[in-house]
Structure 1
Amino acid sequence: MSDRNLNPRPSQLDKAAFVAAYGEIYEHSPWVAELAWEKGLSATQDTPAGLAEAMGEVLSSAPAERQLEVIRAHPDLAGKAALAGTLTDDSTREQAGAGLDQCSPEELARFERLNEAYKAKFGFPFVMAVKGSDRFAILDAFEVRLENTPAEERRTAVEQINRIALFRLQARAEG
């Protein structure tokens, strides 16, 4: 994990510049960055871990409906957006890094079935921080998490989104 400072340094930015620099860390949800900035930033938040903790606290303490908005902003893993090439740059890199762009037709069909079953049960897409994982582990996680209650799964999805944010911030610091 990188302890290097982010550039630009979050604590030195005004709100507009901070949101411009970090607003897309949470998929299509710049309000997370806005609220993190409004709570106040210090030099502690100039590292990936420090900023991830501050932004993660915003999402973790948000009302369930706001959390669900962020969860629903995420694409399906190996889903139609990936196949159509319409993912954000971050999501494209993350899914390719886990080999999701190399699925066989059978694996894609399994992803599609699991995505649909998951959304039917929970009302939002399956979200997983896929860095360091592969498509086989992701498919296994799908099966396990389908057994969760809706409340457990919302909390799990928020935890996974906060991990994704940390990985994105680390990638920027190493950039």
Structure 2
Amino acid sequence: MLTIEQLNKTTEHEFMELLGGIFEHSPWVAEKAIHVKPFSSLGHLYDEMVSVVEQATEEQKLILIKAHPNLGERIEMSPDSVNEQAGAGLKNLTPEEYDKFSTLNQQYMDKFAFPFILAVKGKNKHQIYEAMEQRVQNQRETEFQTAMKEIYKIALLRLEEKIQ
């Protein structure tokens, strides 16, 4: 784990190695945030990264949302996503649970054309499934905004694992 002072001393390459994956498969966020160095705190870094995303176009935000895997799917994911889903019990679904998640994921994708996103740390598979069942009832704009809020939560959790 790094201190913010150590992070501030990193080269551009080191910074990208450390933080390029904070926003799922979207290193452009870290690439833009690096120019704000030095950061006064973890909160400052986080706020700057969120600001980069907030200033992005709706299309860029949609691409960011779509960079996330469907929860519970057995596909290749970033190491952070693998760990987060495993911690929530999503890597050990029974065949029946996997089918339920797959069906609900497909309903969600059919309705919104982007994956269901939830910061799963501290949640179990039952809580995640319940959230999916509730949120699939939402309107698209509500879900788009909810997905962005969840992405920001995920980013903060990932930053907190890397920087003190």
Aligned residues: 164
* Aligned equivalents of 1:149, 1:60: Cα separation in 2: 21
**For residue 71 of structure 1, what is the amino acid of its counterpart?**
I
Deviation per CA, 1:95-121: give whole Å up to 9, x if none. Answer: 010011222222111100111001111
| Gaps in structure 2 of 5+ consecutive residues | none
Deviating beyond 4 angstroms after TM superposition, the runs of 4 or more aligned structure 1 residues are none
Q: Tell me the equivalent position of 2:18.
A: 21
Match of 1:144 among 134, 142, 148: 134
Among the aligned pairs, what percent are the same residue? 38
Q: Tell me the equivalent position of 1:160.
A: 150
Match of 1:128 among 86, 94, 118: 118
**SS of aligned partner of 2:116:** coil
Q: Tell me the equivalent position of 1:111.
A: 101
User: Is the Cα contact below 8 Å between 1:59 and 1:158 reproduced in 2?
Assistant: no
User: Is the Cα contact below 8 Å between 1:115 and 1:125 reproduced in 2?
Assistant: yes
Residue 75 (1) aligns with residue 69 (2): yes
User: Is the Cα contact below 8 Å between 1:100 and 1:135 reproduced in 2?
Assistant: yes
TM normalised by structure 2 equals 0.90
Q: Tell me the equivalent position of 1:5.
A: 3
Deviation per CA, 1:85-143: give whole Å up to 9, x if none. Answer: x2211111000100112222221111001110011111111111100111011001101
**SS of aligned partner of 2:91:** helix
Residue 171 (1) aligns with residue 139 (2): no
User: Is the Cα contact below 8 Å between 2:23 and 2:155 reproduced in 1?
Assistant: yes
**SS of aligned partner of 2:40:** helix
Q: Tell me the equivalent position of 2:37.
A: 41
* Aligned equivalents of 1:6, 1:160: Cα separation in 2: 24
* Aligned equivalents of 1:115, 1:7: Cα separation in 2: 41
RMSD between superposed Cα atoms in Å: 2.0
User: Is the Cα contact below 8 Å between 1:36 and 1:58 reproduced in 2?
Assistant: yes
TM normalised by structure 1 equals 0.85
User: Is the Cα contact below 8 Å between 1:60 and 1:158 reproduced in 2?
Assistant: no
Residue 53 (1) aligns with residue 47 (2): yes
Q: Tell me the equivalent position of 1:91.
A: 81
* Aligned equivalents of 1:28, 1:171: Cα separation in 2: 18
